[in-house]
A and B are shown apart, each in its own frame.
Chain A
């Protein structure tokens, strides 16, 4: 593994209508690494993903991917560079079939995706002709992930893909994400379910009210008093 980071955020800040959502966010991601991004609800995790993927533009700071500044690029340009994501609230192309959802992404990104393999990965291989609108919310999230994979990403941002899944399903997804990481794809995984995260990585960043309050191992995080009050609650 080279030590050059694949992704680096420096002093990134963002606000919406006067409400400061992110303040001075700094972190780096090494190639092939999986980083857990956790924090209480509304702490700004999705916003970080939005900024990296280009859905929103930061007000300050820089985002570097593979050494180049990308914070002014359009989202599709970033996809072409190799950044992709899933969505917390599923956003697939509901008027299309499952297969078409993935085909479109493969086509436009110019990536020669193995569509049957992706369908297999996301557990929808029997349903490729089904309209996306008929999938359950969780299935739609998986389809979102499939769409992201079809563009051949180097960096994958996964937003709460485990929410609403049972332990068995979670294990399946964790395995899938590990397999994906094994292909050399770096990942930022946003998740509330610690057991799940634990299966994937040991390095986490904890956000609270838009600031990074902790960076280190998951184990240490669960002993950090600030993280415990903000995120785990008394139970942990």
Chain B
């Protein structure tokens, strides 16, 4: 396996506050990596830094061997990254237009094909394809955000909590869809709290206070005390 994404001692923060402290991480081609960590551990910040939305204050980020640390988000996304943000959509644009933007670099025909697949998966979106995204419910927005990221067809997709706020019926569906995506050779880095996602992951990292506390395969994580503590609260009181 070759490394697609290499994160080397990355530091980042907001204003005077430093959030990430020398984060190391690797995502191999076709691999699905889960990013765990309690509230405020720095998961969102890491994903934003990787895609270039947050300036990298130290360290390096490499995509397929190329150093992309100095590139803007547009250049990184052109090189095959995609990012699903926690809450973002284009509120005054229609659902269809939002999806089209997800496949910003693709041809019209290709975008249409991918959009149909998305509508299949989320009939609620199909129903409202002409409505403004700003009128959607919280969960529908989430679906749109996810669909938008999947529209990109990127090699390396970052997802920030794709299942939060989704009804169980859709969580199951999302997992099934992601299995398909993974089968297609896409690499995923998913920050997620829903245990159900563990079944997708090859490996995972646990973040703690902006540092990588634990890393390992799914099995290793499942048996890690630190993960249990942070994640399931086992021994949290003790």
Residues of A in contact with B (beta carbons under 8 Å apart): 16, 19, 38-42, 45-46, 88-89, 134-139, 159-160, 163-169, 171-172, 192, 194, 229-236
Q: Could you tell me the distance in whole angstroms from the C-beta of B235 to the nearest C-beta in chain A?
A: 10
Pair B139/A41 contact, Cβ less than 8 Å: yes
B45 smallest CB distance to A (angstroms): 9
Nearest CB to that of B169 among chain A residues?
A233
The A-contacting residues of B in range 118-145, CB under 8 angstroms, are 124, 131, 135-140, 142-143
Interface residues of B in 28-44 (CB under 8 A from A): 36, 38-40, 44
Q: Which of A16, A163, A168, A235 contacts B165 (CB 8 A)?
A: A163
**B39, B138, B172, B232: the one within 8 Å of A138 (CB):** B39
Please give, as numbers and ranges, the residues of chain B lying within 8 Å of A159 by CB-CB distance. Answer: 138
A210 to B: closest C-beta gap in Å:
11
Tell me the minimal C-beta distance from A121 to chain B in angstroms: 15
Is B167 close to A, CB under 8 A?
yes
Say yes or no: B230 contacts A160, CB within 8 Å. Answer: no
- Give me 6 other A-B pairs in contact (C-beta within 8 A), A166-B38, A167-B231 excluded: A41-B124, A88-B138, A137-B44, A137-B86, A163-B161, A233-B173
Q: Tell me how far the C-beta of A211 lies from the nearest C-beta in chain B, rounded to whole angstroms.
A: 15
B137: chain A residues at CB < 8 Å are 41-42, 45-46
List chain B positions with a Cβ less than 8 A from chain A.
Answer: 14, 17, 36, 38-40, 44, 86-87, 124, 131, 135-140, 142-143, 161, 164-173, 193, 195, 229-233, 236
B176 to chain A, nearest CB (A): 10
Q: Which 3 A-B residue pairs are closest in the complex by CB-CB distance?
A: A168-B233, A41-B139, A233-B169
Q: CB within 8 A of B169: which of A42, A168, A231?
A: A231
Residues of A within 8 A of B38 (CB): 166, 168-169
CA distance A49 to B138 in the complex (A): 13
Q: How far is the CB of A43 from chain B (nearest CB, A)?
A: 8
The answer, among A38, A167, A194, A229, for a CB contact under 8 Å with B233, is A167
Q: Check if A39 sits within 8 Å of B230, measured CB to CB.
A: no
Q: How far is the CB of B81 from chain A (nearest CB, A)?
A: 22
A166 surroundings in chain B (CB, below 8 A): 36, 38, 193, 230-232
Complex-state Cα separation, A40 to B231, whole angstroms: 26
* Nearest CB in chain B to that of A233: its residue: B169
Q: Which residues of B contact A192 (CB under 8 A)?
A: 139, 165-168, 171
Q: Which residues of A contact B139 (CB under 8 A)?
A: 40-42, 192
